[in-house]
Amino acid sequence: MPASKSSIPTNIPSPPKYQYRRHLPHFQKSDTPLFITFCTGGPLVLPEEARDVVLNHCLRECGVRVDLFAAVVMPDHVHLLLAALRDENGWPFRLVEIMQSLKGATSHRINKLLHRSGPVWEEESFDHVLRSDESLKEKREYIRQNPVRARLVQKPEDYRWLWVNPEL
């Protein structure tokens, strides 16, 4: 017996294109790489062990909720180049959820590590939708060179908290 029209969903909402948290809009376009920057709050400088925590968390998310192309954890900020993967229903994981998970988990672990409490990260993150493969390569190189420009190392390969997907 055919299903009645009332039992078939006709208007499944799609995820919003813009997600506002605080003051900046966060645009997410499915299957498009994003360049994301977020900073530590206040005068907090991440010691080496805290940078390990952040980079390891980013690498654990790779292939789970994000396709990670590159990441660098600097003493006072993080740059990520990623694309959101899709959930079991085919919807892309929302950027706001990815960032809440990343910031929340790393804040908890960093605070425990440093025997402190309070915010680790600024509330806002900056994200930019990339528009071409060339832009992806440019942002990857920007991330690679960030520790060199900050005079933390002479060559990108020498910076312990830099990861670039070898398939890129």
Q: What is the pLDDT of residue 132?
A: 79
Tens digits of residue pLDDT in 47-71: 999 999 999 999 999 999 999 999 9
E strands in 40-157: 66-73, 77-84, 126-129
* pTM listed for this prediction: 0.83
pLDDT at 133: 78
Fold category of 26-164 in CATH: Alpha-Beta Plaits (3.30.70)
- Of 49 and 14, the structure prediction assigns the larger pLDDT to 49
Q: What is the pLDDT of residue 15?
A: 53
Domain ranges of the chain: 26-164
pLDDT at 4: 46
Q: What is the mean pLDDT of residues 109-116?
A: 98
- Please return the burial class of 18, using the count of CB atoms within 10 Å of its CB with bins 0-12, 13-18 and 19+: exposed
AA letter at 3: A
Q: What is the pLDDT of residue 168?
A: 82
